Amino acid sequence: MLRVAHWLPSSEMSPIIDAYEKSHAGVKIDYVELSDSGDSVAGMQKLDLLVASGEKLDVTFMPGATDYSQRAGLGLLASLNEMIAAEGIDLNGTYLLDPSIDGTVYALPDTLENYFVLLNKDMLDAAGLEVPTDWTWDEYLDYAQKLTTGTGAAKVYGTYFHTWPMYWQLAQINQMKANNLYTDGKQNVDSPEIRLSLELRSKGEKAGTATPYADTISQKLAYRSEFFSKRAAMIVTGNWMIKEAGGSEQFPASFTTAFAPMPSNGEGQPSGVSIANGNFAAILDKSANKQAAYDFIRWHSTEGGELKNVYSAWKEQDADQYINGVKSHALSPDLIDEASLTYVMKHFQAAPLNVPPAYQAQLEQAYTAQTELFILGQQDLETTITKTTTEVQAIVDANQ
């Protein structure tokens, strides 16, 4: 008996478990539902309680790099290195995301979360613009200018930048290295990437082609409503929005949505690079069924993902099958631009897994507070960089 824990409701996991049991004679799975509402935060809290109480579990899923690294650091997860070597697979050739932590693999990447650009294709067509396949942030701003139309309440902005910290790091999160505020023992605030991130935000504001940040915070604007209500022609967002491109009950689709890779920072650099995250599948260190557990997570992170029709970290995922699955459940499937979505999926490059420090939220809060002052015109770029550098270092030092 293999005991598998996940925060998804039993109704969602049952078909997957049934499929595995049918294709693997003699294997029986006892599903441990960590949340009846699909709440991953509550699920992780219950997992920790079960482990602390001595509950026997073989497999658990975790909803991101932070949850994964925390439990690996506590010694709760088994190393998969020997089983991977015995199977003879090339992990980097199999998955888009390398889950190694200091050389040890404690989990396999399951689903994948990455970033790209959504575009209103009707607006692109009206402006005589092609869907980009290889572009820079300068070209992104050029598109934003050409897509900005109207005035006053009827104005359509070329782009909208949301309030999350990553939107102040756009030219950093598209890098293979040093793609967070603090990585590999050093901070990365005083860098060309952060300067470019802030400058592109400032240029959009000054040119009147990006939704003013003052409006965003005063009116509590949100990216879904700005895009689907046709108040912004482009947004940088994540792949959870693929299933919404065909419309939802809250935001019905009224135009064709196209997809473009993340812009690069300059000519000669690849488009389509972004930080990546997702769910991870691991074996509990105290499991007495490690090989059977490994066989299951290998299957779930490959063929199982195709059955669930999730955006997978598996390099062999059938993009056409995934897109067809998305369109089969969409309210307006014809308004999803399939060609550009296929291109983005097949040309994405994941930056190496970056496990943020436990105090990441403090770093982001300090960074955002200073960058807001910059974009609101209350301090210049160099002052922003200097003050942020000092505050970030103080937080790092306090947490050593």
Under the banding of pLDDT at 50, 70 and 90, the label for residue 358 is: confident
Q: Which of 62, 78, 20, 24 lies closest to 289 in space, CA to CA?
A: 78
Q: Which of 84, 88, 87 lies closest to 108 in space, CA to CA?
A: 84
- For the cut 90, the answer to whether the pLDDT of residue 81 exceeds it is yes
Under the banding of pLDDT at 50, 70 and 90, the label for residue 192 is: very high
Rounded distance between C-alpha atoms, residue 124 and residue 132, angstroms: 10
pLDDT at 320: 96
- For the cut 90, the answer to whether the pLDDT of residue 343 exceeds it is yes
For the chain, give percent helix, strand, coil, nearest 5: 45, 15, 35
Under the banding of pLDDT at 50, 70 and 90, the label for residue 69 is: very high
Burial track 93-116 (b if 16+ CB lie within 10 A, e otherwise): ebbbbbbbbeeebbbbbbbbbbbb
Q: Given 3.40.50.20, 3.40.309.10, 3.40.190.10, 1.10.10.10, which CATH number is that of 2-112+277-317?
A: 3.40.190.10
pLDDT at 356: 86
**Average of pLDDT values for 277-294?**
98
Under the banding of pLDDT at 50, 70 and 90, the label for residue 198 is: very high
Rounded distance between C-alpha atoms, residue 181 and residue 173, angstroms: 10
Question: Are β-strands 59-62 and 2-6 bridged in parallel, bridged antiparallel, or unpaired?
Answer: parallel
| Residue 322 burial (10 A CB sphere; 0-12, 13-18, 19+) | buried
Hey, where are the domains in the chain? 2-112+277-317, 115-274+345-398
CB 330 within 8 A of CB 247: yes
Determine the angle formed by the axes of helices 192-207 and 381-398, rounding to 10 degrees.
Answer: 140
Q: Which of 207, 204, 278, 270 lies closest to 235 in space, CA to CA?
A: 204
Question: What are the E-state strand segments in the chain?
Answer: 2-6, 29-33, 59-62, 100-101, 104-105, 107-109, 115-120, 157-160, 182-183, 186-187, 232-238, 257-260, 273-274, 280-283, 349-350
Q: Which of 327, 292, 321, 291 lies closest to 309 in space, CA to CA?
A: 321
- For the cut 90, the answer to whether the pLDDT of residue 333 exceeds it is yes
Output the pTM of the full model: 0.93
Mean pLDDT computed over every residue of the chain: 97
**Average of pLDDT values for 297-326?**
97
Sheet of strand 2-6: strand arrangement: 29-33, 2-6, 59-62, 280-283, 107-109
325 to each of 66, 92, 311, 322, how far by Cα in Å? 30, 26, 11, 5
Question: What are the E-state strand segments in 239-375?
Answer: 257-260, 273-274, 280-283, 349-350
Determine the angle formed by the axes of helices 137-147 and 192-207, rounding to 10 degrees.
Answer: 10
Give residue for tokens 């306090």.
398
pLDDT at 383: 98
Per-residue DSSP letter, 89: -
Tokens (6 digits) for 42: 């509550």
- For the cut 90, the answer to whether the pLDDT of residue 200 exceeds it is yes
Rounded distance between C-alpha atoms, residue 231 and residue 400, angstroms: 45
pLDDT at 100: 93
Give residue for tokens 């994540």.
238
pLDDT at 217: 97
- For the cut 90, the answer to whether the pLDDT of residue 166 exceeds it is yes
pLDDT at 184: 86
pLDDT tens column, 84-120: 999 999 999 999 999 999 899 999 999 999 999 999 9
Under the banding of pLDDT at 50, 70 and 90, the label for residue 355 is: confident
Above pLDDT 70, what percent of the chain?
100
CB 167 within 8 A of CB 161: yes
The answer to whether the 2-112+277-317 and 115-274+345-398 domains have the same CATH topology is yes
Above pLDDT 90, what percent of the chain?
97
Chain centroid to Cα 102, Å, comes to: 22
Report the CATH superfamily, name and number, of domain 115-274+345-398.
Periplasmic binding protein-like II (3.40.190.10)
pLDDT at 400: 87
pLDDT at 354: 82
**Average of pLDDT values for 3-22?**
97
**Straight-line distance from the first to the last Cα atom of the chain, in angstroms, rounded to the nearest whole number:** 43
Under the banding of pLDDT at 50, 70 and 90, the label for residue 292 is: very high
